């Protein structure tokens, strides 16, 4: 679904506030959960560039993802599959994969995280269900189907393979990870 469970959001916000990224890529923003949560906590709203890559074009208009003069959401929106996106989009201070990696095969999700690290992402925020979470198409969007059921230990291993430092929070439904590059 284009929404996200509230679990782990305050934990994520604390890390966002601590690191204060200047460039953000939100993969599969859906209704814009992370932009709405994080943007009010930026010291200089106009100085932080938010990019969204949304695979389902109807969400862009439905959730008003594009920033306007009166409302800040995403400064830049790309309607495409992140797996086909140019590498430069992943070269950000923060890459958010919030409730999106379960919508692709495990191999694709791991490759995407490796690509983000290889292209220079400084931080990666991952949030995903860590309990059995079957889901099919939602509102005519076939990309909402869950194609991989993640275990928390599995995501630990994927992020450990990137090097760097990882913090995590495990809730009753979601697991949340904050990966940081060393350096």
Domain that residue 22 falls in: 9-180
Q: Tally the domains of the chain.
A: 1
Strands lying side by side in the sheet with 23-27: 76-79, 49-54, 23-27, 94-98, 123-129, 174-180, 165-170
pLDDT digits (tens, 9 = 90+) for 57-99: 999 999 999 888 777 889 999 999 999 999 999 999 999 999 9
pLDDT at 174: 94
Which percentage of the chain shows pLDDT scores above 90? 72
Tokens linked to 58: 């109807």
Residue 1's pLDDT is: 44
On whether residue 50 sits in a domain, the answer given is yes
Answer whether residue 155 is part of any domain.
yes
In a domain, 111, yes or no: yes
Per-residue confidence (pLDDT) for residue 141, from 0 to 100: 67
In a domain, 78, yes or no: yes
Q: Is residue 2 part of a domain?
A: no
Domain assignment present for 4: no
Identify the CATH number of the domain in which residue 115 sits. 3.40.50.150
For 101-148, what is each residue's pLDDT tens digit?
999 999 999 999 999 999 999 999 999 999 876 765 667 766 676 688
Query: Quick check: is 67 in a domain?
Result: yes
Of the pLDDT bands very low, low, confident and very high (cuts 50, 70, 90), residue 2 is: very low
Average pLDDT on 37-44 reads 84
In this predicted structure, what is the pLDDT of residue 90?
A: 97
Note the pLDDT of residue 46.
65
The pTM of the full predicted model, rounded to 2 decimals, is: 0.91
- pLDDT of 145 reads 65
- pLDDT tens for 6-32 read 788 999 999 999 999 999 999 999 999
Does residue 3 belong to any structural domain of this protein?
A: no
């Amino acid at each position: 679904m284009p929404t996200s469970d509230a679990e782990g959001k305050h934990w994520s916000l604390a890390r966002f506030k601590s690191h204060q990224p200047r460039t953000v890529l939100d993969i599969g923003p859906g209704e814009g959960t992370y932009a709405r949560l994080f943007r009010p906590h930026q010291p200089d709203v106009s100085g932080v560039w938010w990019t969204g890559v949304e695979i389902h074009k109807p969400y862009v208009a439905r959730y008003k993802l594009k920033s306007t003069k009166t409302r800040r959401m995403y400064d830049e929106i790309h309607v495409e599959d992140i797996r086909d996106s140019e590498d430069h989009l992943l070269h950000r201070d923060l890459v958010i994969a919030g409730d999106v990696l379960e919508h692709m095969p495990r191999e694709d999700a791991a490759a995407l995280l490796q690509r983000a690290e290889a292209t220079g992402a400084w931080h990666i925020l991952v949030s995903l269900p860590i309990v059995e979470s079957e889901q099919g198409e939602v509102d005519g969007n076939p990309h909402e189907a869950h194609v991989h059921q993640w275990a928390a230990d599995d995501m630990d291993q994927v992020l450990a393979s990137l090097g760097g430092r990882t913090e995590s929070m495990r809730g009753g439904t979601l697991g949340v990870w904050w990966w940081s590059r060393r350096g």
